[in-house]
A = this chain, B = another copy of it.
Amino acid sequence: MPRVTLVYDYLRQEEKLLLNELRGVGLEVATLPATERPLKMGGKPETDVAVIRTTSMFNGLYAAAAFESMGVRSVNQFRTILYSGDKALTYALLARAGIPMPETYIALGSRAVFEAAKLLGYPLVDKPPIGSWGRLVSLVYDDFNLVTVVEHREAMCNRQMRIHLVQEYVETGNRDIRCLVLGGRLLGCIYRIAREGEWRSNVALGGRTEVAEVTPELEEIALKAAAVVEGDFVSIDIFEHPEKGYVVNEVNGTPEFKGFMRATGMNVPRLLAEYVKRLAKA
């Protein structure tokens, strides 16, 4: 019987559902709390596939890398977690592949941030390359605001927090589209709509969800974005840009799918379990 290991930090509702479905499709499932046990680089594998479901990007990245060092297939692969976990790398890959995205500058120092602001004009969006749930994604109206953001980021210890992605603010009516891709297939898309008094549509910030119609353009851009990060199971956040049409804003390498299930009624963990099973037997 093919063996699979579910790697997690917290067993959320999503991981419990997935655990059930992995067993349901006939896999032998072990669970691994990521921080509890050391993993030997190049050690003898005791599993066929590692399914990474950590909330911490770094836990997921390093667990995936450790499993791959043993020759175990990881879902997602560490490369995918790395590329999608760092927004600067995501944008670099999207841009290189010619996939539409918001106009974005990377600034490695304060002077470069202010220069980027001059090129873009206000309002603009500033964010660091790492971070989840919309945190530190800042709407900036003017130079005073930008000084506030720059000074705060300068005061942070972590070098990556002092890197700025400076972007055009895309007027979207405070909603975006989240598409879920599994194994090169688009499962579907939903709208995420920001709550009253918040411009970011993240569910973690109170946003609500609604099914979105899948158009061929939406499918094309979502699949292309998944491909550039070499993602098995990823979500793609897309803005409807007033002039440019669909633009990819972000890719998530350990996607939450609770809101998606609620909106679409699809059994995502079942589909994921079946995909993992195919990999395990390969």
Q: Which residues of A are in contact with B by a Cβ distance under 8 Å? A: 34-42, 56, 58-59, 62-63, 65-66, 68-71, 78, 82, 88-89, 91-96, 98, 101, 103-109, 111-113, 115-116, 119, 129, 135-136, 138-141, 143-145, 147-149, 151-153, 155-161, 163, 166, 197-199
Further pairs besides A139-B148, A141-B145: 17, Cβ < 8 Å: A34-B108, A38-B113, A38-B115, A41-B105, A42-B101, A56-B159, A62-B129, A65-B106, A69-B91, A69-B92, A69-B95, A82-B82, A136-B152, A145-B145, A145-B148, A155-B156, A158-B158
- Per the bound structure, the CA–CA distance linking A155 and B111 in Å amounts to 22
A–B Cβ pairs within 8 angstroms, 24 of them: A34-B109, A35-B112, A36-B112, A40-B105, A40-B119, A41-B94, A41-B95, A41-B105, A42-B96, A42-B101, A62-B108, A65-B89, A65-B106, A69-B93, A69-B95, A136-B152, A138-B148, A138-B152, A139-B144, A141-B145, A143-B197, A152-B156, A155-B156, A157-B158
Find A69's partner among B35, B96, B158 (CB 8 Å cutoff): B96
- Per the bound structure, the CA–CA distance linking A103 and B41 in Å amounts to 8
Q: Which residues of B contact A135 (CB under 8 A)?
A: 151, 155
Q: Which residues of B contact A158 (CB under 8 A)?
A: 157-158
Q: Which residues of B contact A145 (CB under 8 A)?
A: 141, 145, 148
